[in-house]
Amino acid sequence: MGPARDELYQRALDEIRALYLQDKNPWVVGFSGGKDSSTVVQLVYRMLLDLPASDRGKPVHVIASDTLVESPVIEEYLDVVLDSLRAGAEAHKLPVLVQKVVPHVDERFWVMLLGKGYPAPNRFFRWCTERLKINPATRYIQREIDRWGSVVILLGARKSESATRAQVLERHRIAGSVLRTHATMPLAYVYTPIADWKTEDVWASLIVNETPWKPELRLNSRLKELYRDGAGGECPLVIDKSTPSCGQSRFGCWTCTVVSVDASMEGFLEVGGLYERMRPLMEFRNKLKAYRDDPSKREPWRHSDPERPHGWEDEADRFSDTDEERPNAVLGPFTLEVRMELFEELLRLQQSTGYVLIREEEIGPIRRYWTQDYRVVWDAMLDILERVFGPTSRRDQLEAERRLLQQVCLEHGVDILAVDRLLDMERGYITKLRKRGLYQALDDVLEAWTAGEQDHAG
């Protein structure tokens, strides 16, 4: 790397080693797969390799925040890196724990957009960052804090990236220490070992030093190719709202509509070859953006409106979005027709590309939100699924369940649609450890339905 850079690299290793041996607090390394976080992970791994086995007592968690809508090219690369890192740590007997963190199903991108009808994110209403990135990472880190009392979070942030980033790095710095306090977690400390490195220092380190766990895979060379083929910057692990948007990132979501043009995707498609398979994804992303900005695709009410048709209220749903051409107009969630259209198109896109774009466990919550907003029954969802995948035994099973439910409701004089909604509401809480809000939610459903029945009778 040259004498100066050799010294920079060695100083970083020495500082990382001294901090590791300083106390018993576990480390959590944020890994996005990009050049900066890759450099940090490799420095930490090299430091652990050089330590005597007796000194490797402190666990190091390497976590990657998977939004489940990552660029397929990057996700494939990231999986290879994480798998090889996991295997390398086991072979070298290092206390490195590799983990992907994902959003709760009710906070996932497609459940929010296709289920609740949230418009595709823009720079004024960037609802995705907290749900897809901050919350999963925070939950993981908080569990380690609860277990150990305190943690140190290692990030690949650098001052030379921007003036804003430099200011953020200086904020909350602890006098006489390389650590700074975390903005929202009092028992977490942040360490940025390459904060003073330049971009050329990062690349020099990666080019000269292949991954210390599986150098034969030449993962750093592959990373250099991804940077060469794409365009834009790296999307870091996001642990608080001070991190700027990564909408122009090559290591970000293929669905990102925060920016007008996805420079990353366009860069890959210009190269062509295997990247050409992603072209339909860019076209679908562009449709999401166009539909977001089309008032005819949006409801004239919001989930928080007291006179919404059959909606429900959630404090997090008070999004502010307006039609620029009609400043006083209300732009609410996507209409049911749009949600259904996009859902079916996404399923077909998954079939044609072979990429995993939406997970099976997300379909139930999507249908549940359709029911809450529009009293949609399972048949509407099944119609779409059968148009895409053909007839399934699921319809026979649901029809048998529905006949039984109809019989019970008829015997007790209860409206089956009301029971449907109550069952859907309860299902939404099945996977939650805390059922806080369930009874109030059930009461709200009953009150809304009672009011609707009275209006109908009137």
pLDDT recorded at residue 165: 64
What is the residue-averaged pLDDT of the chain? 83
Confidence of residue 157 (pLDDT cuts 50, 70, 90): very high
pLDDT recorded at residue 163: 67
Q: What is the 3-state secondary structure (H, E, C) of 393-421?
A: HHHHHHHHHHHHHHHHHHHHCCCHHHHHH
Q: What percent of the chain has pLDDT over 70?
A: 78
The dotted CATH code for 3-229 is 3.40.50.620
Q: Which of 295, 287, 367 is nearest to 326 (CA)?
A: 295
Rounded mean pLDDT, 386-411: 79
Q: What percent of the chain has pLDDT over 90?
A: 55
Rounded mean pLDDT, 180-205: 93
Q: What is the pLDDT of residues 242-258, one digit of tens each?
A: 444 444 444 679 999 98
pLDDT recorded at residue 347: 97
Q: Which of 394, 446, 443 is nearest to 417 (CA)?
A: 446
Q: Which of 230, 284, 279 is nearest to 256 (CA)?
A: 284
Sign for the CA dihedral angle at 166, 170, 171, 173 comes to positive
pLDDT recorded at residue 58: 95
Residue 314 has pLDDT above 60, yes or no: no
pLDDT recorded at residue 301: 84
Residue in the block written with tokens 């979501």: 253
Residue 4 has pLDDT above 90, yes or no: no
Helix (H, G, I), strand (E, B) or coil at 365: helix
pLDDT recorded at residue 428: 55
Greater pLDDT, 123 or 319: 123
Rounded mean pLDDT, 161-177: 72
Q: What is the pLDDT of residues 60-119, one digit of tens each?
A: 999 999 999 999 999 999 999 999 999 999 999 999 999 999 999 999 999 999 999 999
Q: What are phi and psi of 268, to 5 degrees?
A: -65, -40
Helix (H, G, I), strand (E, B) or coil at 30: strand
Greater pLDDT, 427 or 406: 406
C-alpha to C-alpha distance for 333 and 297, rounded to whole angstroms = 8
Confidence of residue 274 (pLDDT cuts 50, 70, 90): confident
Domain with CATH 3.40.50.620 in the chain: 3-229
pLDDT recorded at residue 394: 65
Confidence of residue 310 (pLDDT cuts 50, 70, 90): very low
The reported pTM is 0.80
Residue 290 has pLDDT above 80, yes or no: yes
Rounded mean pLDDT, 341-368: 94
Confidence of residue 405 (pLDDT cuts 50, 70, 90): confident
pLDDT recorded at residue 458: 43
Residue 323 has pLDDT above 80, yes or no: no
224 with 206: CB under 8 angstroms? yes
Rounded mean pLDDT, 41-62: 97
pLDDT recorded at residue 244: 46
Greater pLDDT, 458 or 215: 215
Rounded mean pLDDT, 182-208: 93
Residue 240 has pLDDT above 60, yes or no: no
pLDDT recorded at residue 266: 84
Residue 422 has pLDDT above 80, yes or no: no
Rounded mean pLDDT, 402-412: 82
